[in-house]
């Protein structure tokens, strides 16, 4: 069995050593935050802590409500959007954080 030096593999230091490092890489970038109760936030990540409390700027909040049509019993999804200049997000409501694709 060949060792790493013979195969040319070298271990390079990585920027991501723990899960919060991924969030750190998204500072001052646009992120999508999925919250409890069918809420979604899209905005610029200004700060966060170990509890995933966050400060977001230029936020678009989308709240999706689900209603049942009484005649057909079909689910009707109704998204409502609003703009918020600056928002503090409490971390216990966060389900996931994802960086948005960079626009060129």
pTM, 2 dp: 0.76
Mean pLDDT of 48-70: 94
- What digits encode the pLDDT tens for the residues 73-84? 898 899 999 999
Could you tell me the sign of the dihedral formed by the alpha carbons of 55, 86, 82, 32, in that order? negative
Question: What is the 3-state secondary structure of 36-99?
Answer: CCCEEEEEEEEEECCCCCEEEEEEEEEEEEEEECCCCCCEEEEEEEEEEEEEEECHHHEEEEEE
């Amino acid at each position: 069995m060949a060792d790493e030096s013979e195969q040319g593999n070298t271990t390079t230091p990585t920027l991501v050593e723990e899960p919060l490092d991924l969030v750190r890489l998204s500072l001052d970038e646009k992120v999508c935050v999925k919250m409890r109760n069918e809420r979604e936030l899209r905005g610029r990540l200004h700060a966060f802590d170990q509890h995933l409390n966050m400060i977001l700027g230029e936020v678009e909040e989308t709240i999706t409500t689900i209603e049942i049509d009484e005649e057909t019993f079909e689910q009707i999804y109704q998204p409502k959007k609003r703009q918020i200049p600056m928002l503090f997000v409490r971390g216990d409501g966060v389900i996931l954080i994802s960086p948005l694709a960079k626009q060129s």
